[in-house]
Amino acid sequence: MVQPYRHEPFTDFTVKENAKAMEEAISQVKKELGQDYPLIIGGERIYTDNKIVSFNPAKKDEVVGNVSKADKELAEKAMQVADETFQWWRKSTAQMRADILFRAAAIVRRRKHEFSAWIIHEGGKPWKEADADIAEGIDFLEYYGRQMLEIDKGKEIVSRPIENNRFGYIPLGVGLVVSPWNFLFAIMCGTAVSPMVTGNTVLLKPASATPVIAYKLMEVLEEAGMPAGVINYIPGSGSEIGDYLVEHPRTRFISFTGSRDVGTSIYEKAAKVQPGQKWLKRVVAEMGGKDTMIVDSDSDLELAAESIMNSAFGFQGQKCSACSRAVVHEDVYDEVLERVTELTKEIDLGNTTEKNYFMSAVVDKGAYDKIMGYIDTGKNEGRLVHGGKGDDSKGYFIEPTIFADVDPKATIMQEEIFGPVVAFTKAKDFNEALDIANNTDYGLTGAVITNNRNHIEMAKEDFHVGNLYFNRGCTAAIVGYHPFGGFNMSGTDSKAGGPDYLYNFMQGKTYSEML
Ligand code: NAD
């Protein structure tokens, strides 16, 4: 019997021994930077001349690793291996597959700070955020293992005296998993192992900015007993191998997490039935957000300010759930804005591979330029209250930035910025606050700070987001506690870390035998 699921506890780095352990892990990882990593196809290590160079966003001349890059030919090889492997893997027992996940969780847990140190380097994560990212990956392993065992029990259906009926789930086939760089361990791990534990085989294409940590997970899964060919590691260009595999007739499903633009184009390409294709591809596409926190007139204003600051600037605002819009009741607007500004002034910013700063750099030059562009736009759309400057001389650093008095329809209120920028707008009452909150194309997360029970009920009915939180920030969903996924252009609402998630990668089969 497995222990009941509970989430992995977070590390408190104000405790000296914990901080010391992390410093040691960072020094150890520093010694291992700059190595070459191969692809893994059917267990075989394949080195290519063409490499993806992964670097530290906070110190751009520091190379984290040189990772081999798959081309179409290697993508095709991986597809064939995954297809062949599926023929027997689909018959493996749920218990065996779950046990691989449980063992992998134990291995990562034992090496937690080392894994955090890798993603501090590769993702520019602050320590607390890195620790939470690794904890979430462990949670996915533990939770999906248990969910698979539950699903394996089947579901009750009715039989008659003349027949014996049974209903259960079987896997789909070969799936393409395309993961983002922002939860470089957790989402990559969760999206790779969920189809695997359900009996599918996987082509894992991690984000090009963060392929090294994905290689580390592959090593762990192999150590935990995952057979060759079950998950194949094929970093490569989205437009080259991504498109090739999305359109491949043997691809049975695609699990994508990333931007709206890429997600919608995958959805469209996957819909086209290719010559030789025998099914309709299933697509899970979890995409962007434009997440709002509402502050009511009757509310704990200190809680509101702290929650906005943490949700807007944690991990440099590079979370799909990040608070990028604060909609505040006019009676408390000035006070909340002032307090958020005060708290933001205390934020320290720097290379987190040197020290435990609250914020580090944004992921790369593309992100830096895009965010700085939105800050320029913001200067015409609102009042710059704090921040606004960037420095990309050593790494891609951007100050935490606050704009006030922004029109709800303004660009910085509508488009996903994916950086440390929050825009404030004033609402005359709670109804207007809800209208503003709902006026984007997205619907991922939202939060309401209020002491008014009626307003809580109103928000439950009318605040149209997949993850709605009360009296807390809008980030930090926990596997098994807050199933995660959004409405509208935020995606297919697959609810990662929830009790229904694994069904995305399975199909129901009815068996009826005459007696
Ligand atoms: P992105 O869309 O640029 O890239 C995501 C992945 O898609 C990468 O692995 C990339 O290489 C790949 N890709 C690019 N073009 C492709 C193509 N044509 N075919 C196949 N794959 C292709 O996103 P990103 O910058 O890595 O991540 C940030 C985005 O992800 C933000 O919009 C954020 O909101 C979103 N996100 C959403 C969730 C969620 O659960 N809803 C979670 C994390 C991040």
Share of the chain above pLDDT 70, in %: 100
What is the pLDDT at residue 57?
98
What is the pLDDT at residue 1?
78
Rounded-to-10 torsion of CA 25, 28, 34, 39:
-70
User: Quick check: CB of 213 below 6 Å from ligand 1?
Assistant: no
DSSP state of 9: P
Pocket perturbation via mutation, ligand 1, pick of 69, 182, 323 by most ligand atoms within 8 A of CB: 182
**Vertex 353 angle, CA 48 and 66, to 5°:** 5
Q: How far apart are CA 288 and CA 455, in angstroms?
A: 27
Residue 91 has pLDDT above 90, yes or no: yes
**Vertex 68 angle, CA 65 and 69, to 5°:** 125
What is the pLDDT at residue 200?
99
Cβ atoms 79, 122 nearer than 8 A: no
User: Quick check: CB of 320 below 6 Å from ligand 1?
Assistant: yes
Q: How far apart are CA 423 and CA 417, in angstroms?
A: 11
Calculate how far, in angstroms, residue 334's C-alpha sits from the geometric centre of ligand 1.
36
**Nearest atom in ligand 1 to 176's CA:** 20
User: Quick check: CB of 243 below 6 Å from ligand 1?
Assistant: yes
CA dihedral sign of residues 306, 309, 315, 320: positive
Instruction: Decide the pairing of beta strands 467-470 and 445-449.
Output: parallel
Calculate how far, in angstroms, residue 29's C-alpha sits from the geometric centre of ligand 1.
27
Calculate how far, in angstroms, residue 180's C-alpha sits from the geometric centre of ligand 1.
5
Cβ atoms 394, 60 nearer than 8 A: yes
Q: How many CB atoms lie within 10 A of CB 302?
A: 12
**Nearest atom in ligand 1 to 205's CA:** 9
Report, as an integer, the average pLDDT of 483-504: 98
Question: Token pair for residue 71?
Answer: 């081309």
| Identity of residue 390 | G
Pocket perturbation via mutation, ligand 1, pick of 54, 69, 72, 178 by most ligand atoms within 8 A of CB: 178
* Each residue's pLDDT tens digit, 28-69: 999 999 999 999 999 999 999 999 999 999 999 999 999 999
* Each residue's pLDDT tens digit, 146-160: 999 999 998 899 999
Torsions phi, psi for 228 (to 5 deg) = -60, 145
Q: Which residues contact 278 (CB under 8 A, 6 or more apart)?
A: 249
Report, as an integer, the average pLDDT of 87-96: 98
| Identity of residue 158 | V
What is the pLDDT at residue 155?
87
**Nearest atom in ligand 1 to 243's CA:** 19
User: Quick check: CB of 237 below 6 Å from ligand 1?
Assistant: no
Calculate how far, in angstroms, residue 207's C-alpha sits from the geometric centre of ligand 1.
7
Within 13 Å of residue 470, how many CA atoms lie on the same side as its CB?
Answer: 13
**Nearest atom in ligand 1 to 289's CA:** 34
What is the pLDDT at residue 234?
98
Looking at every residue in the chain, the average pLDDT score rounds to 98
User: Quick check: CB of 477 below 6 Å from ligand 1?
Assistant: no
User: Quick check: CB of 208 below 6 Å from ligand 1?
Assistant: yes
Q: How far apart are CA 37 and CA 33, in angstroms?
A: 11
Calculate how far, in angstroms, residue 262's C-alpha sits from the geometric centre of ligand 1.
7
Report, as an integer, the average pLDDT of 332-361: 98
Pocket perturbation via mutation, ligand 1, pick of 176, 237, 262 by most ligand atoms within 8 A of CB: 262
Q: What band does 441 get if pLDDT is binned at 50, 70 and 90? A: very high
Q: How far apart are CA 430 and CA 461, in angstroms?
A: 13
C-alpha distance from residue 228 to each of 191, 202, 410 (Å): 18, 11, 51
Pocket perturbation via mutation, ligand 1, pick of 133, 136, 205, 257 by most ligand atoms within 8 A of CB: 257
Report, as an integer, the average pLDDT of 358-373: 98
Helix (H) / strand (E) element for 55: namely strand 51-56
Query: Where does 70-210 have alpha helices with state H?
Result: 72-89, 94-110, 112-123, 127-152, 186-197
Closest Cα partner for 412 from 383, 448, 446? 383
Closest Cα partner for 352 from 190, 136, 118? 118
Calculate how far, in angstroms, residue 182's C-alpha sits from the geometric centre of ligand 1.
9
Could you identify the residue written with the tokens 């892990």? 25
Report, as an integer, the average pLDDT of 349-376: 98
What is the pLDDT at residue 149?
98
CA dihedral sign of residues 360, 370, 476, 287: negative
Give the distance from CA 281 to its chain's centroid: 22
pTM reported for the whole predicted model:
0.98
* Each residue's pLDDT tens digit, 95-145: 999 999 999 999 999 999 999 999 999 999 999 999 999 999 999 999 999
User: Quick check: CB of 440 below 6 Å from ligand 1?
Assistant: no
Which domains, ranges and CATH numbers included, belong to the chain? 17-287+493-514 (3.40.605.10), 291-478 (3.40.309.10)
Is the confidence metric ipTM above 0.85 for this complex?
yes
Residue nearest ligand 1's atom 8 by CA = 207
- The CA-to-CA distance between both ends of the chain, in Å, stands at 34
What is the pLDDT at residue 153?
92
Calculate how far, in angstroms, residue 260's C-alpha sits from the geometric centre of ligand 1.
8
Q: Which residues are catalytic?
A: 286, 320
